[in-house]
Structure 1
C-alpha cells in the first residue's frame, strides 16, 4: 500500500510545525506556491484539506494536509516529483486521522503542466477514507476509481479558497474561475508610476493600480499612496466580484514584500446584509496588515471551517475566495 517517498526541499521544514514560516521562506526564495483548500468529510467529521503545489528549479512538490480536531494542520503527506525518479510519479501513501486510515493515491506519469505549477490534464490525485473517494483531482477519474477500488463519496467536496503566490516587477497575472461550472478568467494586476505636473513645474511620481479581467480595465486606483487599502465591486457576466487590495508593503516596506488581493464572488441571491458582513470582515483583515504579523499568517490564522466562513460571509454567498499574494521583485 505504501511507497517510500522522500520529502521535497520546499516542504521538508513543515515537520517543524510552523507552516507560515516555511511558506514565507519558500516565497522569499522565489518558489511558486499554489494552495487549494477544500471542505469534505474525513473520519466522520467535516474537515478542511489543503492541496499545495510547490515548484523550484529542481522539482515539483505536492503536499496534502488535513486539519486536526482543533482546526490545526495535524495530518499530512508530502510527495516529490524529481524528473529522474519516474517511479515516484505514481504511488500511494497512508496516514491516520482520528484512528481511521486515509490513503492518498496519485498518478502523474503523463501529467501535462503546460508551464503551470499544478498539472492541467492527464493525472489524478485521490484521497480515500472509509472506502470512499472523499476528494478527487484531475481528469483521469476512471483510472482513479479502478486503482483505488472505491466509490465516490455521497458528499461532494467544496472548494473553499485558493491561495496563489505570484512574482513580478510591475505586472502580475493568473487565471481563475469563480464557480465550478464557470470558465477561467484572465486576471492581471499592474502597479504603475505616473508623472504629474507640467514642464514648468517639478514632476511628481504618483503610483497607480490597474486591475484587468480578460483584458478589460475594471479597477483603476489613482493616488495609490493614499488609497493603498480598499475594495471595489466588479461585474463579471451575471455575477458580482468584490475585490479587496492591500499594497501597503509594496509602497512603504523595503526589500521583497508582497501585496494581498482578495477576490470574492457575490451571487445574485446574496443579501445586502451578507455583503455588509463580507465587507466588514475583509476590511478588518486588510487593516491588520500594517502590523508586524505577515499577511500570510493573518489569512491562515484559522484552518477551521468557522475561520474561513468569516471571509465567505453568510451561506447565501459563494463559498469560494481567491487570495493572491503578489511578490514585487525590484
Structure 2
C-alpha cells in the first residue's frame, strides 16, 4: 500500500508513484490494475493485493498477502503460460500447521480494454475451509469448486489503482463502497483546444464536479456525494498543462467517514445527492478504520 499517493493539505495532492516521473514507461507496462482487500486470516487482519496486468507476452495475474506491518506472508504469480489455461489453483503453506489455497477460473471471463476481467470469472482465497476472499460474479461456482464455507468476517474492498488512456475523455467503472453499486465514472478535460481548460467529472452520465480556470487550479480537492457517502476528489493535472515531458494526470477518490465531512457534504451538496445508499458498508468500513481509495493515472494518447 506504500506506493499509493498520499494526499495532504487542503488544496494539494502529492504523487509518490515512480510511474508518474518515468517518461520512458511504455503503455504495456502501464496496463496494470491493482486492488487491495482487508480480510481476516487465522483470526488476524491482513491485506490481500490482486494485480491484473497485460504485456507483450499476454495477461498476467499476481496476488500476495501482507500482515498489518506490511510483511509479505505469501505471493503467487500466474504467468501468461499458466494464465492461458484460464483456470487453476495453488496451495501455499503459511506455517507448519496452516496452509492457504488460491483458486481462479477465467475460462468464461469477458474483458474490456484493460487487463481486469469484467464478468464471467471468480478468484477465491480459502484457509482452513473458510472463504477468506471471493471476487467475481461466479460465486456459486467458486463455492462448489472449493467446498468452502462463508467467512464470519467479510472482506472489505479498500483501494484500487488503475491507468486510463485517452485524448480528452477517460472512463472507467468504479465502486465507491464495499458491495456498493458499480458506477460509470468519466473524466473530461480538453487541454489543447480551449485556452482556459475546464475539468469535468461525470458519474453515471451526471455531472458531479466541474473545475474552471484549470491552468491556475491544476491541483486541488473537492467533495461529492456517491451512494450517500461523501467522497473527496483530489486532482493533479500539472503534467497535462505545464509539464515539459509526457506524464500522467492523477486523480484520487477517497471516501470520507468524518462526521464533519458528512454534515458539510449533505448541507452544501444537495444537488449531488444520489438515490443509492450503502449504510452497512459505511458501518463496516468505519469500524475497520479504513475508507476506500480509487487512484487513477490518466495518460494522454498521442
| TM-score normalised over the length of structure 2 | 0.74
Contact 2:215 2:241 in 1 (8 A): yes
Q: In the alignment, is residue 271 of structure 1 matched against residue 231 of structure 2?
A: no
Q: In the alignment, is residue 75 of structure 1 matched against residue 74 of structure 2?
A: yes
Measure the CA separation in 1 of the matches of 2:229 and 2:208: 14
Q: In the alignment, is residue 323 of structure 1 matched against residue 295 of structure 2?
A: yes
Query: Cα 1:125–1:328, aligned 2, differ >3 Å: closer, same or farther?
Result: same
Q: Which residue in 1 is equivalent to 2:163?
A: 165
Q: In the alignment, is residue 242 of structure 1 matched against residue 240 of structure 2?
A: no
Query: Cα 1:105–1:317, aligned 2, differ >3 Å: closer, same or farther?
Result: closer
The alpha-carbon deviation at position 151 of structure 1 amounts to 1.6
Alignment of 1:2-41 (within 5 A): 28-31=25-28, 32-41=31-40
Contact 1:271 1:316 in 2 (8 A): no
The alpha-carbon deviation at position 248 of structure 1 amounts to 2.1
Equivalent position SS for 1:250:
helix
The alpha-carbon deviation at position 275 of structure 1 amounts to 8.5
Measure the CA separation in 2 of the matches of 1:23 and 1:140: 35
The alpha-carbon deviation at position 65 of structure 1 amounts to 1.0
Higher helix share: 1
The alpha-carbon deviation at position 165 of structure 1 amounts to 1.3
The alpha-carbon deviation at position 176 of structure 1 amounts to 0.9
Structure 1, unmatched stretches of 5+, are 1-19, 197-204, 277-312
Measure the CA separation in 1 of the matches of 2:95 and 2:197: 51
Alignment of 1:107-118 (within 5 A): 107-118=105-116
Larger Rg: 1
Structure 2 residue aligned with 1:89, among 86, 101, 106?
86
Measure the CA separation in 2 of the matches of 1:82 and 1:22: 27
Measure the CA separation in 2 of the matches of 1:21 and 1:193: 24
Measure the CA separation in 2 of the matches of 1:146 and 1:237: 32
Q: Which residue in 1 is equivalent to 2:12?
A: none
Measure the CA separation in 2 of the matches of 1:236 and 1:21: 30
Number of aligned residue pairs: 262
Equivalent position SS for 2:223:
strand
Equivalent position SS for 1:155:
coil
Q: Which residue in 1 is equivalent to 2:44?
A: 45
The alpha-carbon deviation at position 212 of structure 1 amounts to 1.7
The alpha-carbon deviation at position 158 of structure 1 amounts to 0.5
